[in-house]
Amino acid sequence: MEQYVIKPWDTRDGSEPTPVDWDMQVPPEVDAVAELVIKEYDMTVHNRTLITSKPDKGGAIWRIETNKGPRSLKVLHRTPERSLYSVGLQEYVVRQGARVPALIPARDGKLFVEKGGKLWIVTDWISLEPAAKVDLTGAQELCYGLGEFHRHTKGYVPPAGAKNSSRLYRWPNYYQKIAKKIGWMREMAKAYRETAASGPILAVVDKYEQQAIAALERLKASSYPKMVQMGEPHWGLVHQDYGWSNGQNGPGGLWVIDLDGVAYDLPFRDLRKLITSTMDDMGVWDVTWMRGMIEAYHRANPLDRESFEILLLDMSVPNEFYKHLKEMFYDPVTFLNTEAEGILQRVVATDQTKDQALAELAKDSSQYQPGNYTQVVVPRSPERQSLASTENQANWQLADQMQLPAQSQVPEQSQVLVPVAEEKAVLAADARRPKAKVENKPDEVKAKKALRIPEPEPIRAATVKKPQEPKEREKARPETRKEPVKQEKERTPVAVQTTTPPSGWFIKAPVVTPVEKAEPAKQQGPRLKAKVAPAKRAKTGDKPVKKKASSQGSKQSATNKKAVAKKAITKLQAKKPLNKSPKTSEKAKAGNQVVAKSGSPRKTQHAAVTHPYKKTAAPSRKSASSQAKKPRSAKAQKTGRNML
């Protein structure tokens, strides 16, 4: 069981219907690992109830009844290094006074247990109730609790060995990605013109694309570059999934739960998501609600003028349009024919009041004090340190880090990565759409090419030909060669991974034997023997069998070839050929030629060989193949046979 690694146990592609109890079950192996984790804590569990699970990610949470009261057992679905980052943040904000469930240490003193390739945590079970969603008061409670949480995250530095997560420096890349993918939506709508939502999308996509591009230009000219120079700990972390379910009222005020996905960022990014999603649910951009939510957040975590302006700028991006319609990249036909048209109508109707609401809120900018952002460059990778100087650093080490030195794993500003499924869907749609006329819209075609983000091509097996001599290369040219070259069939697949050719590509040149080293006489003797054995009679219907002439001459050296040949010819000419007879013995004297019956339909007999030693060479494959390709009449004309 110690070797079992928890992985997603039920992934769905979207085309299959989701069962009602899809998130209310876990594999028995996960249950078994949960029992092992419980034994690592100083508590006795009487009952364990599954609250919810994430089958597509590999996470789950249980309510456990223990001898020390109700508690929560949770398996974090991310990698241990990434989960260590959020576990450290949860302990940090608890010490800062935030209303976040406190982590209960295990028997070894650690605030987590690592089993099944995941981190497990245990906290006290807090009875919570969702904030009211029907009025502004509930929304303000949610925003005030969010501001408190952001204020307590400032100054956090993750423990050594944790994988850093930051989106602070990625705002320009995010805006650019939205503009690019909205352009892809145009191409998808053009490719699937027969779908119901194709026309409505093409009617508004240009407007939303221009909004994203304009927001990107405004961001570059704003105070954003100076703000991010203050560094990650200065701004703190965002929840990234904050909403009505992860912020609930409890003892003392609003509690924030589910901190798995926290990351460094400008904190009001969470506030923007909360406001825009609320306006989308309401179907109208209500200035009263927007102003009330911003003011509630400002009371808990004060905003300066620059932050307020960036907040409004982030609202101007077509976030909701992109969020709802990006589903077309996964199943274009189904989505564009079923859900897309209704979603688009709602988004467009809601956005009719968006510009006016943002213009009204922009008048409140003077109510916020300007920030003080010096040009001091703060390293993006802060030095890792312990959460408390009195704690043992071993309590924050993972299993695979016990024997390794602590190293900072904070990455530099990462690039925007496009999901593979979305890129493949766009490429498939582009292949299906008829090609546009380049001469009419040259600029548009160039823009389409700029939207492509090519995937790295897989390593393919390359065929390598052996090197050819200059004469062979001339023969191998398509316009001159008359027969296939054998070297083309001798190919060796080689997996090419680098630009440097493998050693197998370099073939040794053939060794040329010097002229002085002639073959021994015993090897060339069979071709110089004088006597010719009589040919066997061919069976009826078969072609005459031809045998090579054998020799009974003396064994001479290679240098006496001419003498041996002359002597053999003289002997053969002195003898008379045998009369043709069907009873000719196979022991006939050398120098006589027996003519076998032909296997042709006309039983044509060939004349006897007048010069036994000077044999006619066997037809080459070249001539045979070229003759075989000619029509029947051409063969008859060449051979002299009557084909009638």
Which run of H or of E encompasses 431?
helix 420-432
* Stronger pLDDT, 145 or 601, i.e. the higher one: 145
Q: Which of the pair, 451 or 202, is modelled with greater confidence?
A: 202
User: Which of 237, 178, 261, 240 lies closest to 213 in space, CA to CA?
Assistant: 178
Query: Which range (32-36, 173-177, 481-485, 556-560) has the least confidence?
Result: 481-485
Exposure pattern of 392-406 as b/e (b: 16+ CB <10 Å)?
A: eeebbbbeebeeeee
Does domain 145-153+160-367 fall into CATH 3.90.1200.10? yes
Q: Three-state SS for 416?
A: coil
Look at residue 571 in the predicted model and tell me its pLDDT.
59
pLDDT in tens, 339-372: 999 999 999 999 999 999 999 999 999 999 999 9
pLDDT on residue 502:
39
Q: Is the pLDDT of residue 474 over 80?
A: no
Model confidence at 568: pLDDT above 70: no
CATH architecture label of 22-126: 2-Layer Sandwich (3.30)
Confidence of residue 19 (pLDDT cuts 50, 70, 90): confident
Q: Which residue has the higher pLDDT, 275 or 617?
A: 275
Q: 421 — phi, psi (to 5°)? A: -65, -40
What's the mean pLDDT when you consider all of the chain? 74
Question: Which residues lie below 8 Å from residue 522, measured CB to CB, with a gap of 6+?
Answer: 555
Joined together, the tokens standing for residue 539 give 């069976």
Q: Phi and psi dihedrals of 245, rounded to 5?
A: -95, -25
Question: What local confidence, expressed as pLDDT, does residue 384 receive?
Answer: 54
pLDDT at 418 > cutoff 70:
no
Confidence label for 392 from pLDDT (cuts 50, 70 and 90): low
For position 532, what pLDDT does the model report?
Answer: 46
pLDDT confidence band for 133 (50 / 70 / 90)? confident
Query: Which residue has 């040794």 as its token pair?
Result: 508
Highest mean pLDDT among 132-141, 288-297, 552-561, 630-639: 288-297
The residue ranking higher by pLDDT, 623 or 38, is 38
Is the pLDDT score of 141 beyond 70? yes
pLDDT score, position 314: 98
Beta bridge partners of 129: 249
The amino acid present at 173, given as its one-letter code, is N
H or E segment to which residue 141 belongs: helix 136-153
3-state secondary structure 247-265: EEEECCEEEECCCCCCEEC
The whole-angstrom separation of Cα 400 and Cα 81 is 10
Helix (H) or strand (E) holding 122: strand 118-124
Q: Which two tokens stand for residue 619?
A: 């037809």
CA 40 to chain centre: 39
Q: Report pLDDT for 353.
A: 96
- pLDDT above 60: residue 544: no
Rounded distance, CA 262 to CA 415, Å?
A: 19
Q: Number of C-alpha atoms within 13 angstroms, CB side, residue 195?
A: 23
Q: pLDDT tens for residues 63-117? A: 999 999 999 999 999 999 999 999 999 999 999 999 999 999 999 999 999 999 9
Per-residue pLDDT tens digits for 582-597: 444 444 444 444 434 4
Q: What is the pLDDT of residue 398?
A: 79
Q: Looking at residue 447, what is its pLDDT? A: 38
- Residue 343, pLDDT score: 96
* HEC assignment per residue over 66-89: ECCEEEEEEEECCCHHHHHHHHHH
Residue with tokens 């090197």: 467
Whether this prediction's pTM lies above 0.75 is answered by no
Domain chopping of the chain, boundaries: 22-126, 145-153+160-367
Does the structure show a pLDDT above 50 at 42? yes
